[in-house]
Structure 1
Amino acid sequence: MRSLRYIVFILTSSLLLIAHAAPLVVPRGLLGTTWIEASISSDVFLNDPKDKELFSTTLTGVKLGQRLTPRGKYNAGLYLLSGTYKGHPGSSLVLKIMKSTDNAALGEAKALREVGDLVASGMLSDKLVSRQPVPVIIMLRKPGDVLSTTKAYKEANVAIKEEMRTQTNKLKCEKVASLAVTKHILHL
């Protein structure tokens, strides 16, 4: 009788261990996490008819200021604004000229709206950037500097620079994870 209990105990323990360590085979849709599998340019994310209209308006009252970067891989330029726009000082905003109004641009505008950073999106007519109207996103500018351009980083030794990069990446990952979980936005 004792050996039978021992055999039952071993079998039950093994089954519990296998069940606990087995990979999750339940489809994510059943767990309510299908958003994880969706790109911000997918129809799963762009699921509201209003999402397709994010560039349908013509923006007025926009005065371009300093150009921040040269043309990038996913944009045709970034600018600060001069003056004020929709109650925001121009220096607190960034205007991003999009290359097109495809789903990637729509998804970016929607993601910014979802996290509260979109001020406006639409078409802009400005001879300084193009002869024809171009799609733009106006977003809140985040405070801070690029780590490698700060005085503290430039003056640090190699070990301190590595620690600064590690701490910065940890903070960045925590912020991305928080946004992903609370807003259901995860890109790449």
Structure 2
Amino acid sequence: MNIDLSETGFVSSYHSIVTFMLMLPLTLVTFPCSTTILVGLAFVVIQLNPYVAAAPASTLMARAEKTQAQTKIILSMPKFDAPWLKQKLVDTVKPNEQVKSKFASPLTNLQLGSPLSSAVNSGNKNLGIYTVTSNYKSHLSTELVAKFLEETDREAFVEVHALQMVSPTVNLYVDAGMFPLPVSVSNSMVAILAGAKPGQLAPLAVMIKKPGLPLIQTPEWQKADAQTRLKLQLDTIHLMCKSVGLVARNHHIYRGDNFDLNVLVEFKPEGMTIDKVHLVDFGAGQLYEVVPRETSVYEKACNEYWRIYWGAKW
């Protein structure tokens, strides 16, 4: 079994843009040219914005070059392969009735705030990640975030199932259920393409809000020189893969979507030393069953593979 990165969020956005361009002739026949061009530009900007905005650059040209380079890196990376890697969870796991029942009724006593920044608010099967403005299930509002899933399907069930499974190694899951989409989804091209409308009930996962930022968004990264950045990358990968390894050993799940936006880092108070990392995405599309092994086996494979991406990106 191997992991194909062409199925992950960034490449999915890339493929969506290609699909749109292929559909352009038909769209021009159906709609006025000016409307099609405006919709097309908006679609491309929204698809790439989380990745472009997250990459620090001094000019628009530099940002475009970074985005193009990142796409090439991902598409050229070999598939992740390991003898202990089994099938995707979405193909094998049967979510229990308790998980399925979560999406049978709406959540109550919950209030949402504004959407998170686009650099965090990205990924497959994701209609938006929102702040929470009400205390909920013994948690303060400031401790929570809520993620809308695209539809009530097997992947939504498996994502919630996985969030429950990986606790307490990764403490994210609070609750799940149906919840009305906020008005702000009308500004999301992803939601529009999915046919989502404000007020419509959609599956929602309520999760613990983890501290930190993606590495390249931190003030420490912004002011670091090249040598320090290399050290920060390696330290982040090491701690990230340690967490990935623990999840694999404790719960027999390998998280294959270890891109930089899916990992939040915290620095020690004294400055340029990373203290902790947090895995914040367990989308069903990149979760795999594994044969039981020692933690070090999973860690080593994760380190060797993801250094290709993290090392080539910056």
TM exceeds 0.5?
yes
- Deviations, residues 115-171 of structure 1 (Å, cap 9, x unaligned): 232111110125535221111000111121221122221111011111101110111
Aligned equivalents of 1:49, 1:66: Cα separation in 2: 32
Select which of 144, 162, 166 maps to 1:115: 166
1:47-101 Cα deviation digits (max 9, x unpaired): 5333333312210111112310446332000011012111111121110001011
CA contact (8 A) 1:125 1:132 kept: yes
1:177 and 1:55 map into 2 onto residues whose CA distance is 30
Q: What CA distance in whole angstroms lies between the structure 1 residues aligned with 2:87 and 2:95?
A: 11
Give yes or no for the alignment of 1:169 onto 2:237. Answer: yes
Q: Which 5+ residue runs of structure 1 have no aligned equivalent? A: 1-27
Paired residue for 2:68?
A: none
**RMSD (Å) for aligned C-alpha atoms:** 2.0
Give yes or no for contact 2:95–2:157 (8 Å, CA) kept in 1.
Answer: no
Q: 2 CA distance for matches of 1:127 and 1:172?
A: 33
Contact in 2 for aligned 1:54/1:109 (Cα 8 Å): no
Cα gap change, 1:121 to 1:47, in 2 (>3 Å): closer
Q: How do 1:120-139 and structure 2 match up within 5 A?
A: 120-128=175-183, 129=185, 130-139=198-207
Residue 213 (structure 2) aligns with: 145
Q: What are the Cα deviations for residues 1-51 of structure 1, in whole angstroms up to 9, with x where unaligned?
A: xxxxxxxxxxxxxxxxxxxxxxxxxxx9xxxx7xx4232312x32253333
Counterpart of 2:98 in structure 1 is: 50
2:90 maps to 41
CA contact (8 A) 2:116 2:129 kept: yes
Match for residue 81 of structure 1 among 127, 132, 137: 132
1:46–1:52 Cα contact (<8 Å) kept: no
Q: CA deviation at 1:183?
A: 1.1
Task: Give ranges in structure 2 of 5+ residues lacking alignment.
Answer: 1-82, 186-197, 256-285, 287-314
Alignment-derived partner of residue 101 in structure 1: 152
Equivalent position amino acid for 2:252 in 1:
H
Question: Are the equivalent residues in 2 in contact too, given 1:40–1:108 (CA < 8 A)?
Answer: no
Q: What TM-score comes out, normalization by structure 1 length?
A: 0.74
Cα distance 1:49–1:37, how it changes in 2: closer, same or farther (>3 A)? farther
- May I ask how many residue pairs the two structures share in their alignment? 154
Bigger share in helix: 2
Check conservation: 1:63, 1:83, Cα contact below 8 A. Answer: yes
Give 1:104 deviation, angstroms.
1.2
Task: Classify the secondary structure of the residue corresponding to 1:121.
Answer: strand
Alpha-carbon distance between aligned partners in 1 of 2:175 and 2:133, rounded to the nearest angstrom: 15
Change beyond 3 A, Cα 1:103–1:80: same
Partners of 1:108 and 1:47 in 2: how far apart? 10
The answer to whether the 8 Å contact 2:125/2:149 transfers is yes
| 1:67 has 2:135 as partner | no
Equivalent pair of 1:39/1:186 in contact (CA under 8 Å): no
Q: Counterpart of 1:38 in 2: which secondary structure?
A: strand
